[in-house]
Amino acid sequence: MLKRDIKRVPLLVFALFVLSLGIVLLKQSGIGLDPWGVFHEGMSDVTGIKFGAIIEIIGYIILVFSFFLKIYPGIGTVLNIFLVGKFIDLLLESNLFEISDSVIMQLLFFIVGFIVLNFGRALYISCNLGAGPRDGLFVGVVKFTKIDVKYVKPAIEIIVFTIGVIFGGTYGIGTLILMLFSGYFVDVFFKLFKYDPKTKTNSNILSYFKGQ
């Protein structure tokens, strides 16, 4: 099983890079980040820590709590936490995604970022190597309730968004769009990849020791 999963790692890393690119495009558009992004940006402003580094730190915190909830990470979970924040900071510091105040360019960045983000998210989850700490939450709820991801994801993100606003994160009309429609797009990409989160069981690190 471990050998089989290792073969998927290159695709996983690519998917995480695509996910990171989507986040950067959304951030640079200025139209609005996703709910988790609002939270991370608020924390970044308050602490002075880089945006990507905050994402990584919060990921590790969620990971620790996950063990207490008996939600065990997979290779994908660990690489998500370790790589996404670094990819984001690298892309932001490259200055390749600086844009003017042109409304057309802002809309273009947002639309492309929206599609790229959800494509990357669905792709890495479909690798079946373990969802990231945040996405693992809504995938877990989907498995438990058997309710479609397009309903579960927005519900969770409304709660996260509210907390993010309290921390001072910025938001816009794009945030509302992401909250309402990301779940639908993730669901579409899941179907494209023929991946059903209701029935699939992601690998986790403990399963390697159990020989499963």
- Whole-prediction pTM: 0.86
Higher-scoring residue by pLDDT: 147, 149: 147
CA distance 96 to 107: 17
Q: What is the per-residue pLDDT across 106-143, written as a single tens digit (0 to 9) for each?
A: 999 999 999 999 999 999 888 888 878 887 666 667 77
**pLDDT, tens digit, for every residue of 80-108?**
999 999 999 999 999 888 887 789 999 99
Report residue 2 as tokens. 């471990």
Report yes or no: 84 and 16 within 8 Å, Cβ to Cβ. Answer: yes
pLDDT the model gives residue 70: 67
Give CA 42 to chain center in angstroms: 17
Q: Is the dihedral of CA 94, 25, 12, 209 positive or negative?
A: positive
